[in-house]
Chains A and B, each alone.
Chain A
Amino acid sequence: GNSVTQMEGPVTLSEEAFLTINCTYTATGYPSLFWYVQYPGEGLQLLLKATKADDKGSNKGFEATYRKETTSFHLEKGSVQVSDSAVYFCASRSGGGADGLTFGKGTHLIIQP
């Protein structure tokens, strides 16, 4: 079955630092890949997605590229803000519309002013 592994947190950075959160996946076939973000007290929000190899998803300054050769989908941002503090989840999905997402454990990101 599918699995997603992401780096353990918490990750603590200063404002304007460069961010990388690593994510690797195992899956049968060619999954779609997603990053979700969970702000304190809120639900999961889709941050970005990529559906095939070499696709780059981007949103709000965050980017992630679907790397089939390394089975990775690392999340990056060039300059983080305090408001980016949240838990970030990498997820994969195979198959048809009814298939559930497979999530990583989540990475808690803390940005200090």
Chain B
Amino acid sequence: EPEVTQTPSHQVTQMGQEVILRCVPISNHLYFYWYRQILGQKVEFLVSFYNNEISEKSEIFDDQFSVERPDGSNFTLKIRSTKLEDSAMYFCASSESNTGRNQPQHFGDGTRLSIL
């Protein structure tokens, strides 16, 4: 069964540094998402991406965050100047197009980001 893959599984970064989290969505999917889960808290929506642009973003997704689909397979989340509170598990997800809210989102295993 096709799956969403994320790399790296664990990223350790110094505060203030830039970090890029990488995702390869399922190949025929057209909607892409990032979520985060701070330890002990709920999974929170960050951003959705379709047709090479952001479709929706939450209030968490401020100017320090950006997303990009640099080629036909990768989908990246960049955090420009990391803060301690960015430490979390980051999940990438993808879904098929057309029937909207009924389509399930398929998640990767996540990248654990630790900011020192």
Interface residues of A (CB under 8 A from B): 31-32, 34, 36, 41-46, 49, 51, 89, 91, 93-106
Contacts and interface: CB of A to CB of B under 8 A. Distances in A.
A101 B105 contact: yes
Given A32-B102, A46-B105, A105-B42, 11 more contacts: A32-B101, A41-B109, A46-B104, A91-B43, A97-B101, A98-B31, A98-B49, A98-B50, A99-B101, A100-B46, A100-B58
A96 B4 CA distance: 21
Given A98-B50, A104-B42, A105-B41, A51 B107 contact: no
Nearest to A106: B42
A106 B101 CA distance: 21
B45 A100 contact: yes
Interface residues of B, number: 35
Contacts of A49: 102, 104
B75 interface: no
Contact of A95 (B91, B95, B101): B101
Interface of B: 4, 6, 31, 33, 35, 41-50, 55-56, 58, 91, 93, 95, 97-110
Given A49-B104, A51-B102, A97-B101, A43 B91 contact: yes
Nearest to A91: B43
12 contacts: A42-B109, A43-B4, A43-B110, A44-B91, A44-B93, A97-B103, A98-B56, A99-B100, A102-B45, A105-B41, A105-B42, A106-B42
